[in-house]
Structure 1
Amino acid sequence: MNKESLSKLSNEKLLKKHTAAKTMVWLLAIVLTGCLLFFIYVSIQDGFTPLVAVPLALSTIIPLNVKNMNTLKKELDSRK
Protein backbone atom coordinates (compact mmCIF):
# COMPACT_ATOMS: atom_id res chain seq x y z
CA MET A 1 0.00 0.00 0.00
CA ASN A 2 1.32 3.41 -0.84
CA LYS A 3 0.76 6.66 1.03
CA GLU A 4 -1.76 7.98 -1.49
CA SER A 5 -4.17 5.09 -1.11
CA LEU A 6 -3.86 5.21 2.68
CA SER A 7 -4.60 8.92 2.78
CA LYS A 8 -7.88 8.31 0.93
CA LEU A 9 -9.16 5.84 3.53
CA SER A 10 -11.23 6.89 6.52
CA ASN A 11 -10.00 6.47 10.08
CA GLU A 12 -12.43 3.62 10.67
CA LYS A 13 -11.23 1.70 7.62
CA LEU A 14 -7.60 2.24 8.60
CA LEU A 15 -8.32 1.00 12.10
CA LYS A 16 -10.09 -2.10 10.73
CA LYS A 17 -7.19 -2.83 8.37
CA HIS A 18 -4.68 -2.39 11.21
CA THR A 19 -6.66 -4.69 13.50
CA ALA A 20 -7.01 -7.31 10.76
CA ALA A 21 -3.29 -7.17 9.97
CA LYS A 22 -2.39 -7.47 13.65
CA THR A 23 -4.71 -10.45 14.08
CA MET A 24 -3.32 -12.17 11.00
CA VAL A 25 0.29 -11.68 12.13
CA TRP A 26 -0.44 -13.26 15.52
CA LEU A 27 -2.45 -16.13 14.05
CA LEU A 28 0.21 -16.87 11.45
CA ALA A 29 2.96 -16.77 14.07
CA ILE A 30 1.05 -19.13 16.37
CA VAL A 31 0.19 -21.58 13.59
CA LEU A 32 3.72 -21.62 12.20
CA THR A 33 5.19 -22.12 15.68
CA GLY A 34 2.81 -25.01 16.28
CA CYS A 35 3.68 -26.57 12.93
CA LEU A 36 7.39 -26.19 13.57
CA LEU A 37 7.12 -27.80 16.98
CA PHE A 38 4.99 -30.62 15.60
CA PHE A 39 7.39 -31.31 12.72
CA ILE A 40 10.35 -31.26 15.12
CA TYR A 41 8.51 -33.77 17.32
CA VAL A 42 7.80 -35.98 14.29
CA SER A 43 11.45 -35.71 13.26
CA ILE A 44 12.58 -36.83 16.70
CA GLN A 45 10.18 -39.78 16.69
CA ASP A 46 10.57 -41.04 13.12
CA GLY A 47 13.73 -39.44 11.81
CA PHE A 48 14.33 -36.24 9.92
CA THR A 49 11.54 -35.00 7.71
CA PRO A 50 11.91 -32.15 5.21
CA LEU A 51 8.57 -30.74 6.41
CA VAL A 52 10.53 -28.79 9.05
CA ALA A 53 11.45 -26.35 6.27
CA VAL A 54 7.83 -25.42 5.52
CA PRO A 55 7.16 -23.27 8.63
CA LEU A 56 10.58 -21.70 8.30
CA ALA A 57 9.93 -20.76 4.68
CA LEU A 58 6.45 -19.43 5.42
CA SER A 59 7.71 -17.36 8.34
CA THR A 60 9.14 -14.85 5.85
CA ILE A 61 5.59 -13.57 5.41
CA ILE A 62 5.48 -12.25 8.97
CA PRO A 63 7.97 -9.34 8.53
CA LEU A 64 6.10 -8.19 5.44
CA ASN A 65 2.83 -8.10 7.36
CA VAL A 66 4.48 -6.33 10.28
CA LYS A 67 5.80 -3.68 7.89
CA ASN A 68 2.30 -3.22 6.46
CA MET A 69 0.86 -3.03 9.98
CA ASN A 70 3.43 -0.36 10.97
CA THR A 71 2.58 1.68 7.87
CA LEU A 72 -1.09 1.60 8.81
CA LYS A 73 -0.24 2.59 12.40
CA LYS A 74 1.89 5.54 11.23
CA GLU A 75 -0.94 6.80 9.05
CA LEU A 76 -3.40 6.49 11.95
CA ASP A 77 -1.00 8.33 14.28
CA SER A 78 -0.44 11.13 11.74
CA ARG A 79 -4.17 11.83 11.71
CA LYS A 80 -4.47 12.34 15.45
Structure 2
Amino acid sequence: MFFLTAIPSWNPNPEMLIDYEELEAEEQSRAEEAEQLQQQQQQQQQQQQQQQQQQQEQQQQQQQEADRQRTGVAVINT
Protein backbone atom coordinates (compact mmCIF):
# COMPACT_ATOMS: atom_id res chain seq x y z
CA MET A 1 0.00 0.00 0.00
CA PHE A 2 1.05 3.52 -0.67
CA PHE A 3 0.94 5.87 2.33
CA LEU A 4 1.68 9.56 2.62
CA THR A 5 2.12 11.26 5.92
CA ALA A 6 2.01 14.84 7.12
CA ILE A 7 4.03 14.08 10.24
CA PRO A 8 7.80 13.71 10.52
CA SER A 9 8.97 10.42 9.07
CA TRP A 10 11.10 9.68 12.12
CA ASN A 11 8.02 9.42 14.31
CA PRO A 12 5.22 7.90 12.25
CA ASN A 13 1.88 7.73 13.96
CA PRO A 14 -0.23 5.07 12.20
CA GLU A 15 -3.41 7.02 12.95
CA MET A 16 -2.06 9.98 10.98
CA LEU A 17 -1.18 7.98 7.87
CA ILE A 18 -3.52 8.58 4.95
CA ASP A 19 -4.24 5.81 2.48
CA TYR A 20 -4.72 7.85 -0.69
CA GLU A 21 -5.32 4.79 -2.85
CA GLU A 22 -8.24 3.77 -0.66
CA LEU A 23 -9.61 7.32 -0.70
CA GLU A 24 -9.33 7.41 -4.48
CA ALA A 25 -11.08 4.05 -4.78
CA GLU A 26 -13.91 5.26 -2.53
CA GLU A 27 -14.26 8.45 -4.56
CA GLN A 28 -14.35 6.45 -7.80
CA SER A 29 -16.98 4.15 -6.32
CA ARG A 30 -19.15 7.11 -5.29
CA ALA A 31 -18.79 8.63 -8.75
CA GLU A 32 -19.86 5.36 -10.38
CA GLU A 33 -22.85 5.07 -8.05
CA ALA A 34 -23.89 8.64 -8.87
CA GLU A 35 -23.61 7.93 -12.59
CA GLN A 36 -25.72 4.77 -12.25
CA LEU A 37 -28.34 6.68 -10.28
CA GLN A 38 -28.44 9.38 -12.94
CA GLN A 39 -28.87 6.77 -15.68
CA GLN A 40 -31.70 5.12 -13.75
CA GLN A 41 -33.43 8.46 -13.32
CA GLN A 42 -33.11 9.19 -17.04
CA GLN A 43 -34.55 5.77 -17.89
CA GLN A 44 -37.46 6.36 -15.52
CA GLN A 45 -38.14 9.74 -17.11
CA GLN A 46 -38.07 8.20 -20.58
CA GLN A 47 -40.47 5.46 -19.50
CA GLN A 48 -42.82 8.01 -17.96
CA GLN A 49 -42.73 10.10 -21.13
CA GLN A 50 -43.47 7.04 -23.25
CA GLN A 51 -46.37 6.08 -21.00
CA GLN A 52 -47.78 9.60 -21.15
CA GLN A 53 -47.47 9.62 -24.93
CA GLN A 54 -49.22 6.25 -25.18
CA GLN A 55 -52.01 7.47 -22.91
CA GLN A 56 -52.45 10.60 -25.00
CA GLU A 57 -52.60 8.54 -28.19
CA GLN A 58 -55.17 6.21 -26.64
CA GLN A 59 -57.27 9.17 -25.51
CA GLN A 60 -57.11 10.67 -29.00
CA GLN A 61 -58.18 7.38 -30.56
CA GLN A 62 -61.03 7.00 -28.09
CA GLN A 63 -62.15 10.57 -28.72
CA GLN A 64 -62.00 10.05 -32.48
CA GLU A 65 -64.02 6.84 -32.17
CA ALA A 66 -66.60 8.61 -30.00
CA ASP A 67 -66.79 11.48 -32.50
CA ARG A 68 -67.19 9.03 -35.39
CA GLN A 69 -69.96 7.14 -33.64
CA ARG A 70 -71.74 10.35 -32.72
CA THR A 71 -71.56 11.92 -36.18
CA GLY A 72 -71.49 8.80 -38.30
CA VAL A 73 -68.51 10.23 -40.17
CA ALA A 74 -64.99 8.86 -40.14
CA VAL A 75 -62.50 11.28 -38.63
CA ILE A 76 -59.26 11.46 -40.58
CA ASN A 77 -56.19 11.61 -38.37
CA THR A 78 -54.35 14.80 -39.28
TM-score, structure 2 normalization: 0.50
- 1:12 match: 37
- Offset at 1:31? 1.1
- 2:54 match: 29
Q: Which amino acid aligns with 1:28?
A: Q
Deviations 1:38-74 (A, max 9, x none): 1111011111121xx35xxxxxxxxxxxxxxxxxxxx
Question: RCO higher in 1 or 2 (8 Å CA, sep ≥ 6)?
Answer: 1
Larger strand proportion of the pair: 2
Deviations 1:10-32 (A, max 9, x none): 11210111000110111111111
Percent of aligned pairs sharing the same letter: 0
Q: Which amino acid aligns with 2:36?
A: N
Larger Cα-atom Rg: 2
SS of the residue corresponding to residue 74 of structure 2 reads coil
TM-score, structure 1 normalization: 0.49
- Within a 5 Å distance, the mapping from 1:34-53 to structure 2 comes to 34-46=59-71, 47-50=73-76, 53=77
Q: Following TM superposition, where does structure 1 have runs of at least 4 consecutive aligned residues deviating by more than 4 angstroms?
A: none
Gaps of 5+ in 1: 1-8, 55-80
